[in-house]
């Protein structure tokens, strides 16, 4: 009798197992399920993970080389005031070029696509366009911003803000709503320029796009991670 | 992740139970052999089979969860093929750019190291770096190949050129890889602004007043600059022409662009810790 009970138990386990496996396979065959996709394009995903890792490693290497360079500059120029001044000068230029992390007083804005679903309104008015971001950067620059970033993409001298289809690209990287725009500079001028009556954000609000602007004494803007170099422009004395 | 842990814990406790059951069985086994041997053998086989099946099941469930989890971590779980390809391309270009900068840094590091090893003066190297930074900032005169775009206000045009047209043009030129840009011989630098006053009658760049014709010079790959501006319909030239605006673009192999003459200051910038 004991034997019989055991066989029944095994039988039940087998049935449950079979059912589970069938269910699993059925789910995977469902065309739109996330699991099926996870398996279908796993090769591309592997490649994506691989390139992400490569790029992350390269950034870590770059970070180290920057530190090493700083060290070398210091050890090699410990003698004399003139070299100290020069180091300061270089630091200033690198900050302005956008290749170092910086902090300072300024403002942080959040610009978000409209949530309105009224179909009578032109959809184009409800979303934030690349031209809107260019205009905001222009306004902030006009108000004396010394560093600007949008969704952590630092605005540098070679930065283009473009759109490809329905995607906005900054420095060749995809950004999307909500846009967090940070600017370092005179807090009052920046805030005034952005919130003034008839200013650019007025127009955005009229399109029911959400704009939030906050002053901050400690805005942190990270550096540009790409390369800055000239291939065509030569110094001309 | 939390789910996963709970499951893990559940399974751990199951395992412990299993182990306990097995212990009990083996105790029973140890006692029973004296009485009935054949039945015990069958039970043993059965429990081993059941154990193996359970193990396989648990293992497969783990694999499944791990796979889904890994995709979630990068937020790529539900991405379509084309989206994946775009992301791969973006990581690739990020990698290449980073490596380019890294290699440049390595070169400078080497120069410093040789200089230090040979007890040479290193202020020269610092000067070099400063000079390069100044060049990139637009504080030096530069020369090179590129394009010259001339925008002229005419009576036939729908409107007179406004600041936005110039901002768009600069953006297009940067997108096409322009390294140095000037408007009416005023160097454009990072975070420079162009605004329209009095409904487009006056365009100001910094404190400089700009008027038509606007001569925009850009140094970079002339072919690439040219082809970007002349993309059919959506390109800058066709966009302007659609409004009847007068625009002329020509390639030039020897463009001179002067240094920025204004002040650029970092009064509010502090180095991040």
Query: Bridge-partner residues for B151, per DSSP?
Result: B214, B247
pLDDT at B26: 47
State residue B199's pLDDT score.
67
Q: How far apart are CA A169 and CA A160, in angstroms?
A: 8
What angle (nearest 5°) sits at the alpha carbon of residue A149, between those of residues A143 and A151? Answer: 135
Residue A13 and residue B49 in contact, taking contact as beta carbons nearer than 8 Å: no
* Confidence tier at B32 by pLDDT (50, 70, 90): very low
Q: Could you tell me how far CA B40 lies from the centroid of its own chain?
A: 67
Q: What is the pLDDT along chain A (237 residues), one digit of tens a residue?
A: 567 887 888 888 888 878 877 776 666 555 455 555 555 567 888 888 888 899 889 988 988 998 888 888 877 666 555 677 888 889 999 999 999 999 999 999 999 998 887 767 778 888 999 999 999 999 999 999 999 999 999 999 999 999 887 889 999 888 998 999 999 999 999 999 999 888 899 999 999 999 999 999 999 999 998 888 899 999 987
**pLDDT at position B47:** 85
Average pLDDT over residues B150-176: 93
pLDDT on residue B1: 44
> Do the chains contact at B50 and A44, CB–CB below 8 Å?
no
Quote ipTM for the complex: 0.75
Average pLDDT value for residue range B151-165: 92
Residue of B nearest to A82 (CA): B123
- Model-level pTM? 0.71
Distance of CA B8 to the CA centre of its chain: 37
**Contacts B257 to A, Cβ<8 Å:** 233
A164 burial level (CB within 10 Å; 0-12, 13-18, 19+): exposed
The whole-angstrom separation of Cα A168 and Cα A176 is 7
Segments making up each domain of chain A, as ranges:
102-221
d(Cα B30, Cα B38) in Å, to the nearest integer? 14
Residues of chain B positioned with their CB less than 8 A from the CB of A59: 98
Q: Which of B75, B81, B136, B138 to mutate to test the interface with A (most CBs of A within 10 A)?
A: B136
Question: What is the pLDDT at residue A39?
Answer: 56
Q: Minimal CA–CA distance to B146: which of B194, B171, B182?
A: B182
| pLDDT band at residue B208 under the 50/70/90 scheme | confident
- Which residue in chain B is spatially nearest to A89 when comparing CA positions? B130
Three-state SS for B209? Answer: strand
Three-class DSSP category at B214:
strand
**Looking at the partner chain, which of B53, B105, B270 has a beta carbon nearest the beta carbon of A104?**
B270
Cβ within 8 Å of residue A123, ≥6 positions away = none
Region of poorest pLDDT, from A77-81, A139-143, B9-13, B209-213: B9-13
Report which of B144, B142, B166, B141 is spatially closest to residue B153, judged by C-alpha positions. B166
Helix (H, G, I), strand (E, B) or coil at B25: helix
The residue among B90, B83, B81 whose CA lies nearest residue A226 is: B90
Comparing CB atoms, the residue among A6, A76, A139 nearest residue B43 is A6
Distance CA A154, CA A152 (A): 6
> What are the φ and ψ backbone dihedral angles of B36, each rounded to 5 degrees?
-130, 115
C-alpha span between B107 and B97 (Å, rounded): 16
How confident is the model over B228-250, as pLDDT tens digits? 999 998 899 999 999 999 999 99
Give percent of chain B above pLDDT 90: 38
> Which of chain B's residues have a Cβ under 8 Å away from the Cβ of A41?
79-81, 84
DSSP state of B7: H
pLDDT at B25 over 50: no
First to last CA, chain B: 33
Return the pLDDT at A232: 93
Q: Which residues of A touch B97 (CB under 8 A)?
A: 225-227
Does B112 have pLDDT greater than 80? yes
Number of H helices, E strands in chain B: 7, 9
Q: In CATH, what class is A102-221?
A: alpha beta
Query: Under a CB-based contact definition with an 8 Å cutoff, are residues B180 and B225 in contact?
Result: no
Minimal CA–CA distance to B191: which of A99, A147, A162, A188?
Answer: A147
Of the ranges B3-12, B162-171, B261-270, the best mean pLDDT one = B162-171
Please indicate whether, in this complex, the C-beta atoms of B108 and A173 are within 8 angstroms of each other.
Answer: no
Q: How far is the C-alpha of B8 from the C-alpha of B14, rounded, in Å?
A: 10
Q: For residues A190 and A213, give the distance between their C-alpha atoms in angstroms, rounded to a whole number.
A: 10
pLDDT level of residue B30 (50, 70, 90 thresholds)? very low
Question: Which comes out higher in pLDDT, residue B12 or B105?
Answer: B105
With an 8 Å Cβ cutoff, are A38 and B77 in contact? yes
B97 contacts A159 by C-beta, under 8 angstroms: no
Residue B80 confidence (pLDDT): 73
Q: Which residues contact A175 (CB under 8 A, 6 or more apart)?
A: A150, A151, A153, A168, A169
Q: By three-state DSSP, how is residue B206 classified? A: coil
Asked if A216 and A106 touch (Cβ cutoff 8 Å), the reply is yes
Cβ of B4: how many Cβ atoms within 10 Å? Answer: 13
């Amino acid at each position: 009798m004991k034997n019989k009970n055991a066989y029944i138990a095994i039988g039940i386990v087998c049935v449950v197992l079979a059912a589970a496996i069938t269910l699993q396979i059925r789910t995977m065959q469902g065309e739109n399920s996330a699991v099926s996709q996870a398996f279908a394009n796993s090769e591309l995903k592997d490649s994506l993970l691989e390139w992400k890792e490569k790029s992350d490693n390269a950034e870590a290497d770059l970070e180290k080389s920057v530190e090493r360079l700083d060290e070398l500059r210091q050890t090699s120029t410990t003698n004399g005031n003139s070299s100290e001044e020069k180091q300061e000068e270089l630091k200033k230029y690198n900050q302005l070029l956008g290749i170092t992390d910086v902090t300072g007083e300024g403002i942080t804005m959040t610009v978000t696509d409209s949530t309105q679903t009224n179909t009578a309104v032109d959809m184009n008015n409800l979303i934030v366009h690349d031209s809107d971001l260019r205009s905001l950067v222009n306004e902030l620059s006009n108000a004396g911003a010394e560093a600007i970033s949008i969704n952590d993409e630092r605005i540098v001298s070679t930065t283009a803000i473009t759109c490809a289809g329905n995607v906005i690209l900054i420095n060749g990287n995809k950004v999307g709503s909500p846009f967090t725009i940070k600017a370092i500079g005179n807090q009052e001028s920046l805030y005034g320029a952005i919130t003034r009556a008839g200013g650019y954000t007025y127009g955005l609000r009229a399109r029911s796009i959400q704009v939030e602007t906050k002053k901050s004494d400690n805005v942190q803007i990270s550096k540009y991670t790409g390369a800055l170099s000239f291939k065509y422009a030569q110094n001309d004395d | 992740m939390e789910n996963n842990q709970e499951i893990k814990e559940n399974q751990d406790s199951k395992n412990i139970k299993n182990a306990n059951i097995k212990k009990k069985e083996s105790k029973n086994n140890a006692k029973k052999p004296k009485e009935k041997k054949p039945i015990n053998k069958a039970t043993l086989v059965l429990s081993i089979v059941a154990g193996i099946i359970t193990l396989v099941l648990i293992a497969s469930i783990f694999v499944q969860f791990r796979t889904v989890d890994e995709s979630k971590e990068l937020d790529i779980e539900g991405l379509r093929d084309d989206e994946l390809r775009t992301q791969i391309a973006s990581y690739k270009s990020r990698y290449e750019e980073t490596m380019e900068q890294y290699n440049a840094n390595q070169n400078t590091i080497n120069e410093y190291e040789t200089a230090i090893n040979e007890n040479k003066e290193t202020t020269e190297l610092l000067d070099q770096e400063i000079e390069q930074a100044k060049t990139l900032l637009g504080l030096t005169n530069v020369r090179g190949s590129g394009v010259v775009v001339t925008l002229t206000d005419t009576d036939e045009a729908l409107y007179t050129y406004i600041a936005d047209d110039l901002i768009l043009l600069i953006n297009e030129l940067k997108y096409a890889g322009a390294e140095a840009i000037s408007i009416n011989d005023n160097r454009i630098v990072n975070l420079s602004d162009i605004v329209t006053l009095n409904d487009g009658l006056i365009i100001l760049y910094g404190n400089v007043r700009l008027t038509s014709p606007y001569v925009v010079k850009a140094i970079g790959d002339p072919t690439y600059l040219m082809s970007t501006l002349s993309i059919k319909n959506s390109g800058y030239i066709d966009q302007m022409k659609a409004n009847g605006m007068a625009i002329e673009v020509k390639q030039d192999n020897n463009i001179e662009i002067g240094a920025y003459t204004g002040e650029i200051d970092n009064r509010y910038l502090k180095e991040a810790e």
